[in-house]
Chain A
Amino acid sequence: MIPDEAHGVIGLQPSACTSCMICVRECPTWCIELESHTEEVSEPGARRPKTINVLDAFRIDFGLCMYCGICVDLCPFDALAWSPGFDHAASSAGGLVHGINELVNWWPATNPSPAD
């Protein structure tokens, strides 16, 4: 029986991520990579269009990750969370690199999505 709050794997909620890079820069093992670009968004009533970051790719290499959870603790937008999932063994080192699609699936169902 694995408790829901177990630190098994890290999940991502991409809609909450602002590409601020804090997790990438604080990771002691350099296991997170993030790609993003900026877009200008015009809002009614605003004098200037505002620039926002758009997330393109987010990868965690669980072959390098030491499961310290610093990224989860430091994310200002709760876009990263621990999940009790554990069965992410892979037959090759490359299989341990999880992109947005895999990380979304790890997002714990018990956590309410902060973006919704």
Chain B
Amino acid sequence: MIRVDAAEWRSTIAGFHGSGCTLFGFLTGVDRGDSVEIIGRVAHPESIEAHLISTTIPAGGTLPSLNDLYLGASWHERETGEMFGITFAGLTDARPLLRRAQQGSPPLLKSSVLVARVVREWPGAAEASDDGRRGGNPSRRRQRPAGVPEGFMQDEADGRSAIGGT
């Protein structure tokens, strides 16, 4: 993995493109908390030469697009952009790829809570001592499912957890 500054992202990959790595592998992101790491892979179509290039930009930051070098990069940049909430400058078609509209928190950021995790009753909330009561014994403190931050559930404010159901 070659780690470069964001300012050298495009020139590094353009250099590989110029030396024959004209095959675009993939491009994706990783949420690193305050920043987003972008990883791309380019390869030579007729040899085993391939390069994995990584750079880190602040959350919500901007990176120059590669879609004039690699046509296939636009698909990955559209997807990475909407999933991690970053912008690819110069991307000719920046319409959302998988989501209907760019609204709400970008889904692949760890700060995004899955709605399905909140609206569905967590199967793990049940206990044998509930003895068949749907949603469990209300007097007991409920366990919180993984990935749902404390205080996210509205009902928690008045001491009841919506995770355990009604």
Q: Could you tell me the distance in whole angstroms from the C-beta of A73 to the nearest C-beta in chain B?
A: 16
The contact of A34 among B120, B126, B145, by CB within 8 Å, is: B126
Asked if A21 and B127 make an inter-chain contact with CB atoms under 8 angstroms apart, the answer reads yes
CA distance A30 to B120 in the complex (A): 10
The contact of B123 among A19, A28, A34, by CB within 8 Å, is: A34
Q: Could you tell me the distance in whole angstroms from the C-beta of B163 to the nearest C-beta in chain A?
A: 11
Within 8 A of B (CB), among A46-84: 53-54, 56
Q: Could you tell me the distance in whole angstroms from the C-beta of B29 to the nearest C-beta in chain A?
A: 20
Within 8 A of B (CB), among A16-41: 19, 21, 24-25, 27-28, 30, 32-38
Q: Which residue of chain B has its CB nearest to the CB of A31?
A: B123
CA distance A25 to B127 in the complex (A): 11
Q: Could you tell me the distance in whole angstroms from the C-beta of B98 to the nearest C-beta in chain A?
A: 19
- When distances are taken between beta carbons in the complex, the residues of chain B under 8 Å from A36 are 126, 128
Q: Which residues of A come within 8 Å of B, CB atoms?
A: 19, 21, 24-25, 27-28, 30, 32-38, 53-54, 56
